[in-house]
Amino acid sequence: DAGVIQSPRHEVTEMGQEVTLRCKPISGHDYLFWYRQTMMRGLELLIYFNNNVPIDDSGMPEDRFSAKMPNASFSTLKIQPSEPRDSAVYFCASRVQGSYEQYFGPGTRLTVT
């Protein structure tokens, strides 16, 4: 049974470029979460979806960040334009309705130069 899948695993880009991170949740899971991990702030929730609908985006740092979930098996987190301070590891997680346990993907390590 495949876990949460994220791509790419590593991304290096120049300041000002658009970055798109991708996530495929575990099949059958109703909730999808995007987290960011930095040395300064630790692991923090950016946004989460329930049944493809964004529920809480209060953790999205600014308008340069946007997230979509066009269907139950795919979500994107986009940064446009990217800045060096966006460098971090971005995790996607999912869980199923009725259980609070979240399962995390391997993460995408983003470096903006």
Asked if residue 55 binds another protein (CB under 8 A), the reply is yes
| The binder of another protein chosen from 19, 33, 69, 86 (CB under 8 A) | 33
Contact 56, 48 (CB under 8 A): yes
| 21 three-class SS | strand
Distances (CA, A) of 19 to 14, 22, 55, 80: 10, 10, 23, 7
How many residues in the shown chain lie near another protein by CB under 8 A? Answer: 22
Amino acid type, 46:
L
Q: How far is the CB of 92 from another protein (least distance, A)?
A: 11
Using CB under 8 A, pick the residue from 31, 34, 65, 90 that binds another protein: 31
- The Cβ of residue 85 has, within 10 Å, a number of other Cβ atoms equal to 11
Instruction: Please report how close the Cβ of residue 79 comes to another protein at its closest, in angstroms.
Output: 19
Among 5, 72, 89, 96, binds another protein (CB under 8 A): 89
The residues facing 85 across adjacent strands are: none
Instruction: Note whether 45 binds another protein by CB under 8 A.
Output: yes
Q: Nearest distance from residue 59's CB to another protein, in Å?
A: 8
Query: What's the token pair of residue 105?
Result: 């993907």
Q: What token pair was written down for 82?
A: 């990217």
The residues binding another protein (CB under 8 A) are 31, 33, 42-45, 48, 50, 55-56, 89, 91, 93, 99-104, 106-107, 109
